[in-house]
Structure 1
Amino acid sequence: MDIRSKAMAALFPTDILFQTSYWAQVKARLGLAPRAFDIPAAGPGKDVLVLLKPFGKHNIAIVPQGPEHAPSEEEYGTFLEDFSVALAKTLGPEVAFIRYDLPWLSPYAAMMGNEGWDVFPEPRVRELRMNMGTRFWNIRKASEDMTVASSLVVDLVGSEEEMLGRMKPKTRYNIGLARRKGVSVQEADARGLPDFHALYRQTALRNGFSPCGPEHFSAMFQSLLSAPDRSDLLFLLARHGSDVLAGAIVGISGETANFLYGASSNTKRNMMASSLMHWTAMLMARERGCVRYDLGAVSPADTPDHPFHGLYRFKTGFGGRIEYRSGSWDYPLRQDVYDEYRNAELMHSAHERHALRPH
């Protein structure tokens, strides 16, 4: 496969925020090195953003929500292999492995729609299917998905009444309840980031995950000033009196709005501020030309023992559909370095799971 390096500003417009020149600038501010490539074999106008992340004396090549071009399902593995070989030659020997966060439809999507079915086949079975027809059988399922494999997407079509009508009654009630209790949602700018980050740290502590530092959010706003594409951010804060109860950062690219980061207070949770905040974000995103609002991670089905079941219950209240994507996959180039990185990931995941348990 032939791939050709190109300028970051020349990346083609896309609905995938994580494949834009804007996202390349965000990650460059956070210490990653972005590279862009045309993929002539995929057809005219097909390109990809790759991020190089340092790991010791080596680099990891990360393809965030890409490549956007999806071959036929039976060619997933052979396409990834051919692209990986071409990318490795271009990036050089410092790259230890390539990680793809594939936006492609999962081969198991039909199974995921069955109620109560909440797990994929074990990784080895998935690897056998992905490597079928490849020459080297070198594609590995990542230990964790970089973003999300199951995402709740709401269509922003029809009147406001029609959109509300597609929601569950409880969600409609909570939106009205927040209004009746005096919750207001306003668009904020970067000056509101300290309030948001304080809420975000509360949310991380409450839910047992490691929060991003404030520099991550600052980079997102700073990059808007110089990004050559039309990516945008919606930054909303929900307030009740002088209290900030919830916040959301939503990225916009093309016709898609992506809920990127959310936070909520430990107090006044009966005000249902988050429900009103997301409804407001949907309406504002639609005003900016979006036809989809991607709420992000959910459990694949209504299964209480899944770690994302709480997100499933909240997000499916807004209506919409679950998109089942293929998740994250690795192509090792230096097996020793890859094993070291994977072991570190597994240890980190074990620590996070321990933090989530009651003590």
Structure 2
Amino acid sequence: MSASILQSAPWAEFQRNLGKKVFMRSGEGWNFLAIHEKTPLGSFLYTPYGPVADNPAAFARALDALHALAKAEKAHYVRVEPAAAGLGDKAAAVLAGHGLRRAPVDVQPHLTWMVDLTQPEEKILAGMRSTSRNLYRNIHKKGVSFDISTDPADIGILLGFLHDVSARAEFKAQSDDYLAQAARTLMPAGAAKLFVARLDGQPIAAALSYDTPTTRVYAHAAADDKHRKLNAGIPLVVTMMVDAKASGQQLFDMWGVSPEDEPEHEWAGFSRFKRSFGGFEVEYPGTWDLPVNKPGYAAYSAARRLRDLLRGTALPAVRKAGTAVVPVLDRLRAKLKG
């Protein structure tokens, strides 16, 4: 599996432009992009879908380098997501053997859906649901066309649709500043494109891709609800695939799906949409933590458990004893700073 866009030089520049402290390191058979994250529960190094390694031995060397960097940066732990580290089916055992612990939640999705773009275009289309294929072939008859932009100023088209979706559904998009900076940084670097569906020249749907030489990621998308009956989002995705194939990319990454055997999962609806284009499921090892400052990591874990308790069913009882909770939080914060 090729390295993710999240482990690329353009992504490092994007994160720096967001004000983050970013490190890129490499060695024999390994490399990583690590972001120094600071939170009220302590600082840590985060390697989104990384580190990248050729095999388990190279991964061990990358982990050593991350541990040393975390100590130098006074980070309490390292958070890794080895999506392309050559760990195979034994990934969980390998990670546990290095002293890593499963993180409380996955930061990036541990399941995704891929489409193989090395197939002939007709075979890619044949793998889709017939309605998707027919929409792509015939939607032009309804006055819908598609264009591709690498002008960062055009990100406003997508932002407008995302605002509408957020207003009418329980959906929280990335901030305007985040996506605008992504466009400003990644588009000139050839690492992002904006795809727009237009009805008689007016935008009705848009999607932003993140790109590496091998893989296109279906990153952010939204459509005008007034034209939902046209289902323009479907041929828009196919257009993204066809363009990626023409650009020489081998994979189209739908970026995150729920398990097929969990129909009540909050992602189930759009996961069915993503699977309707054909393809195959890819499972990653998930998000794991390597404690570096063990007392600091223990304090972080305890603070998180307490926070989850406060958010859970015990909240009314905890509120009644609120004066007792405050000193506990204060002690945890003091321990994290120490």
Same-fold status (TM-score > 0.5): yes
Please name the residue that 1:339 is paired with.
301
Does the 8 Å contact 1:187/1:234 carry over to 2? yes
| Cα deviation, residue 243, structure 1 | 4.6
Does the 8 Å contact 1:154/1:321 carry over to 2? yes
Under a length normalisation based on structure 1, what TM-score does the superposition of the two structures give? 0.74
SS of 1:268 mapped into structure 2? helix
Paired with 1:343 and 1:248, the residues of 2 have a C-alpha distance of 37
Please name the residue that 1:3 is paired with.
none
Does the 8 Å contact 1:15/1:254 carry over to 2? no
Q: 1:296 aligns with which of 250, 255, 258?
A: 255
Please name the residue that 1:270 is paired with.
229
Gaps of 5+ in 2: 313-338
Gaps of 5+ in 1: 1-13, 111-125, 351-359
Distance 1:57 1:344, change over 3 A: closer
SS of 2:153 mapped into structure 1? helix
Q: Which protein shows a greater Rg?
A: 2
Please name the residue that 2:328 is paired with.
none
Deviates more, 1:330-339 or 1:245-254: 330-339
Deviates more, 1:99-108 or 1:187-196: 99-108
Cα RMSD for the two superposed structures: 3.2
Deviations 1:282-311 (A, max 9, x none): 111122111111111112225422222212
Give the paired residue count.
306
Does the 8 Å contact 1:238/1:246 carry over to 2? yes
Do residues 65 (structure 1) and 58 (structure 2) align? no
Q: 2:115 aligns with which of 154, 157, 162?
A: 154
| Cα deviation, residue 96, structure 1 | 2.0
Do residues 55 (structure 1) and 14 (structure 2) align? no
Q: 1:319 aligns with which of 257, 274, 278?
A: 278
Paired with 2:128 and 2:111, the residues of 1 have a C-alpha distance of 19
Report the residue type matching 1:292 in the other structure: L
Does the 8 Å contact 2:101/2:289 carry over to 1? yes
| Cα deviation, residue 55, structure 1 | 2.1
Report the residue type matching 1:51 in the other structure: I
Q: 5 Å matches for 1:3-152?
A: 15-40=3-28, 43=29, 46-56=30-40, 58-69=42-53, 71-72=55-56, 79=59, 83-91=62-70, 92=72, 94-104=74-84, 129=93, 132-134=96-98, 137=99, 139-152=100-113
Report the residue type matching 1:202 in the other structure: D
Distance 1:106 1:338, change over 3 A: farther
| Cα deviation, residue 142, structure 1 | 1.9
Please name the residue that 1:244 is paired with.
203
Name the structure where helix makes up a greater proportion of residues.
2
Does the 8 Å contact 1:175/1:272 carry over to 2? no
Do residues 280 (structure 1) and 239 (structure 2) align? yes
Distance 1:328 1:204, change over 3 A: farther
Paired with 1:269 and 1:201, the residues of 2 have a C-alpha distance of 16
